[in-house]
Structure 1
Amino acid sequence: MCGIAGIFDPRGRQAADAAVLDRMTDSLAHRGPDDRGTWIDGPVGLGHRRLSIIDLAAGHQPLFNEDGRVAIVFNGEIYNFQPLMEELKAAGHQFRTRSDTEVIVHAWEQWGEACVERLRGMFAFAIWDGHRQALFIARDRIGIKPLFYAELPDGRVLFGSELKALLAHPGLPREIEPRAVEEYFAYGYVPEPRTIYRHARKLPPGHTLTVRAGEAVGAPRQYWDLRFAPEAGLDAAATEERLRERLAEAVESHLVADVPVGAFLSGGVDSSAVVATMAGLVEQPVHTTSISFGESAYDEARYAAEVAERYGTDHHVRRLEPDDFQLLDRLAGLYDEPYADSSAMPTFRVSELAREGVKVVLSGDGGDENFAGYRRYRWHLNEERVRRLLPRALRGPVFGLAGRLYPKADWAPKVLRAKATLEALALDSVEAYFHSVSIVGEPLARRLFNDAFRRELDGYRAVEVMQGHAANGPDHPLSAVQYLDFKTYLPGDILTKVDRASMAHGLEVRVPLLDHEFVEWAATVPPALKLQGRDGKHVLKRAMRPMLSEGLMYRPKMGFAVPLAEWFRGPLRGAVRSSLLGERLADVGWFDTAFLRRVVREHEAGLRDYSALIWSLLMFERALAGADRSAGAAAEPMAMAGGR
């Protein structure tokens, strides 16, 4: 795992600035503490920070082909690099290392842009081909590894593993994109391909971008998409057996390393399945780590301990306390743009703990998306049954009015909290799913933002992100929302969280449940085997019965949550007030300050649970503060659209 950065002037007017390239590269030092390399050839410059995992002695980057005209900087792991190396040797290519990085170089020479279709793994890389005078950047199919890029006003192109690498270049404008703000408060992150800055982009998962000398920067090219093609009449027992086989194969492929490999163990089904499978494939006890909370309602540590004891793992636990709020500024600095998933806090701590024992860990991320584990999937299917019975012309007025009239009752038992369901039934399928995942839904956004911000948006709505993806998605209502999560929540939230939190400690996290071959196979499993009644991940749980206890698999889902509501009314009350009611959010000029005061007052009194909104505002305010602090080293501070 590494960090990459680079500069290219397609017009050839400016040589790459060595000092600027150094700053871009060194901003990623946390991603690669083991080695550093930069290279400049006229208008192109490549930078690399290395975390040594494979071929520890000979994996220095940038790495070149035989004649030195093709150079690469690479972040990730290619799990099928050994068979690819043999195939490329048979085609006449000569290798000087045994690294997966050099495999990509020769794969580019052999297959050009199609080389990515041969790679199995997680990756973000950039290749400069002096023969073709072209810069080629690529990101893996699922979006496990990040890659940002920007075209400067003078035509130069930047790229980097994190946004901070681009921000280290003085030529990058720092104007905030209002549509990204709208998206952030809806989703809790800024979805691909946008960033919080108008002039910087994320390369979407499963895409490449080629920039040729003398040509303008074009649009990214998509080389992969997830296609749901359920096999009708698939036998349940055979599917369970095949799932165990597929999982074992994916886990085994992810164990390739020249350093010890451990695992995250949350106590949930997914991470427990990975650990149980892993324990059967390695000789030494698996090094496992987990986080515990003081509040028992959020604490899964006892379930993690059950799995650790059963499989004899070398298990380590760290407790997260409310005073860990000190992480707020650190997290804002890690993500470089507003990011509102509070589980970044325990993920940061569990990564810190894991790095004390190993350099690589496997995680269970992806199980919910593959096998329909989220409760919202069940709710969506139930709502879809009603939507299909009644036409939109009837549902809209009836349920829309009922939703507006029904009180928001956060204090009440769940059975009485019908407002969100009534509102969703008035909408179409995509709008309803967007409504279910939104932190700040459109009714709340109308109260949070003022007229000045709405003028900046010029009619844009965050739901358009999902609507764009849904146009290419599957028809089945369950597969459709799984597809939307693969396009938005998984890369934008889950994988972003894990990448930044782990790389802050120089830890590589691998995700066998998101191996693209495993994902493609899971997409052939019929929806009825994934979600049966109230039982999400049905086929995965059935497959794991020989390896995990019924009590662990069929307990209520808890997730990797942080008890924010209680914290914000208790030990973090002062921090909430200073951030939400302070000058920074007021100076932005986009928020209704009277509503912010109401949010604080009602949450403190226990009348409403605004914890998700409060956390989103806190992280937005901290992102602004971080940008202000770093502005001295940049060309200009973060600026509001419209010149504010």
Structure 2
Amino acid sequence: YHARSDAQICLQAYATWGEAFIEELAGDFCFALWDDVRRCLLCARDRLGVRPLFHARAGGSGLVVSDSLAWLADRFPADRDLDDLWVADFLCLGYSRDADRTVYRRISRLPPAHLLAFADSEPTVRRYWRLEIDEPLWLGERGYIERFVDVAAQAIADRLPDGRVGIAMSGGLDSTTLAACTVRASGDPARVVAECFHYEAALHDQEKHFAALVARHLGIELRLRAADDLAYDPAWRTRGIHLAEPSLSIVRAEPDRQTALGQAELAPVWFFGEGPDNALIYERSAYLAWLLARRDWPRLAAATLSSLLAKGFDGWGASLARLGNRGAVAPALQAVPPWLDRGLVEALRLEARLADTSRGEQRHPWHPKAIASFNDAIWPSLLEEFDFDAALSPVVWRHPYLDLRVLEFLLSVPPVPWARRKLLLRRAMRDRLPRAVLARRKAPLAQSPLVEPLRRHGLPRLAPGSQLDRFVDLRQVPSPAACPSDDLGRLLAVHALDHWLSA
């Protein structure tokens, strides 16, 4: 099969298994396949939605499919009525919670892990795969470590280009582990180049220091890029860049373009290390409760002891402090922005929509947050952002941690003790990364990198009488200086939508 193209492999699989062939395919893909005998069009998207696919009705009975939303919108200018729910979600969350919606009411997005079939007059869409992890994987410590290194090596090897490969590498554990595994899989540190984005003024992070330690340890080239001026472009509204859908990334589109062009000169393919933060959520209570319900006394005792020992004095001190504050008010659920049009909020029942966190997925018995996180529509929204980079330059982004062999293994590992501070990765990298990196605690950003530039540069005044009036009460929209820091992203969404509507 190595001598055949991806298209030839798909065709051979379809000839062998029929529509069930989609269940045998692995990787990141979207495609349309025409069966001339059955007079049937089959369209599919990969399991996590790395590659996008869109479809729209053409006239009375036809169907048009494309991996470009912009192309479809240009082809059917009369069908550009907006989807109010998509727009409302964007203004509240920055993305749509429904994976099948686009900003256009008459153009649909094929959800991840779905197959579209069109043979007669109506297309049918069915889900061909679900992320299901039944039992934990029971291995000894050595077994977990060897399995992780093995599946990571397979995922990386399948995505390696012939020449150099780039790693988007901070000083954190996930991306540095990815770099170490890539060096091992490629067999040559000279083939690997890493780029570290760091903040020198806005946030005073330590990414540059830890990334440099890793680069020296692995013997790979490291490019450092100060990101203080990359998060927000003050001239973004005048750049003439138009995205297929409203997106917060418009405010950094020009810096992203320059960055992507520079990355393409270093390597044709770049790896992104997203995945372990979600797969290795430490869900101690759910896991212990599941073991208790099963009356699995040996594993329950071992997991409980492991949890108690791992927590240490500092952890128990934090728990006692929380107990002392048990009368404090819990943080409220994210509210609808006060500047949204009240008629729209009521018609779409947006308060209830934001409060609904279940989204119809069955709660997993022992790893609920981790499993649910990969069923969230934010994943395809995030992954489609990389398509914008691909449109700006020849660079190609790939995601080894989202390979199903890696992802399903990480989710199958018992969260106690292996998800606590990503113990699995720390043990697996014990002899492959510097001790300082392995001992480093996760350091979340103190604030969004948008806060300082938005407060410094401000945003233009929104003019009444535009299409924006359908969605926003312009009288209620604050300036960046008067807006709480936590709401600045949602304020920016208003301006991004206004820019998109006026383009």
Counterpart among 98, 102, 114 of residue 20 in structure 2 = 114
Alpha-carbon separation, structure 1, partners of 2:204 and 2:63: 49
Where in structure 2 are the equivalents of 1:468-507 lying within 5 Å?
468-470=359-361, 472-476=362-366, 479-488=367-376, 490-507=378-395
Amino acid at match of 2:412: T
Go from structure 1 to structure 2 and tell me whether the alpha carbon gap of 1:618 and 1:541 turns closer, same or farther (over 3 Å shift): farther
What residue number does 2:477 align with? 596
1:185-211 Cα distance to aligned partner (Å, 9 max, x none): 333112311111111111111111011
Residues 469, 487 of structure 1: 8 Å contact kept: no
2:91 corresponds, among 185, 196, 201, to: 185
CA distance in 2, matches of 1:453, 1:279: 52
Distance 1:258 1:475, change over 3 A: same
Query: Contact 2:94 / 2:490 at 8 angstroms: preserved in 1?
Result: no
User: Residue 509 in 1 paired to residue 397 in 2?
Assistant: yes
Aligned-pair CA distance for 1:329: 5.0
Identify which range, 118-127 or 360-369, moves more after superposition. Answer: 360-369
Match of 2:147, as an amino acid? Answer: R
**Equivalent pair of 1:585/1:591 in contact (CA under 8 Å):** no
Whether 1:365 aligns to 2:246 is no
* Corresponding residue for residue 546 of structure 1: 431
TM-score w.r.t. the length of structure 2 is: 0.81
Count of residue correspondences: 463
User: Alpha-carbon deviation of 1:272?
Assistant: 1.0
Residues of 2 paired with 1:120 and 1:516: CA distance?
A: 8
Residue 170 of structure 2 corresponds to 266
The CA distance in 1 between the partners of 2:397 and 2:133, in whole Å, is: 27
Alignment of 1:100-499 (within 5 A): 100-152=6-58, 154-170=60-76, 173-191=79-97, 192-212=99-119, 214-218=120-124, 220-231=125-136, 234-255=139-160, 257-282=161-186, 283=188, 284-295=190-201, 296-298=203-205, 300-322=207-229, 324-325=232-233, 328-329=236-237, 333=241, 335-340=243-248, 350-372=259-281, 422-423=330-331, 435=333, 441-442=334-335, 444-445=336-337, 447-457=338-348, 461-463=352-354, 466-470=357-361, 472-476=362-366, 479-488=367-376, 490-499=378-387
Matched, 1:583 2:486: no
Query: What is residue 8 of structure 1 aligned with on the other side?
Result: none
The 3 A distance-change label for structure 1 pair 190 and 538 is same
2:114–2:129 Cα contact (<8 Å) kept: yes
Q: Aligned partner of 2:262: which letter?
A: L
* Contact map agreement 1:584 1:621 (CA 8 A) in 2: no
Gaps of 5+ in 2: 290-321
**Amino acid of the residue matched to residue 602 of structure 1?**
A
CA offsets 1:2-29 (integer angstroms, 9 cap, x no match): xxxxxxxxxxxxxxxxxxxxxxxxxxxx
Give 1:522's match in structure 2, choosing from 410, 414, 422. 410
Q: CA RMSD in A?
A: 3.6
Q: CA deviation at 1:491?
A: 2.2
Contact 1:498 1:509 in 2 (8 A): yes
Q: CA deviation at 1:155?
A: 3.2
State the SS of the aligned residue for 1:121.
coil
CA positional deviation for 1:474: 1.2
The alpha carbon displacement at 1:473 in A equals: 4.0
Q: Secondary structure at the match of 2:29?
A: strand
CA contact (8 A) 1:189 1:492 kept: no
Identity within the alignment, % = 23
CA deviation digits over 1:38-84, x for unaligned, max 9?
Answer: xxxxxxxxxxxxxxxxxxxxxxxxxxxxxxxxxxxxxxxxxxx53xx
- 1:565-605 CA distances to partner (integer Å, 9 max, x unpaired)? 111111x21xx143xx33376842332333213x54523xx
Query: Aligned to 1:557, which of 434, 443, 448?
Result: 443
> Structure 1 residue 511: deviation in Å?
1.0
- Alpha-carbon distance in 1 for matches of 2:75, 2:138: 56
Q: Distance in 1 between matches of 2:25 and 2:44?
A: 11
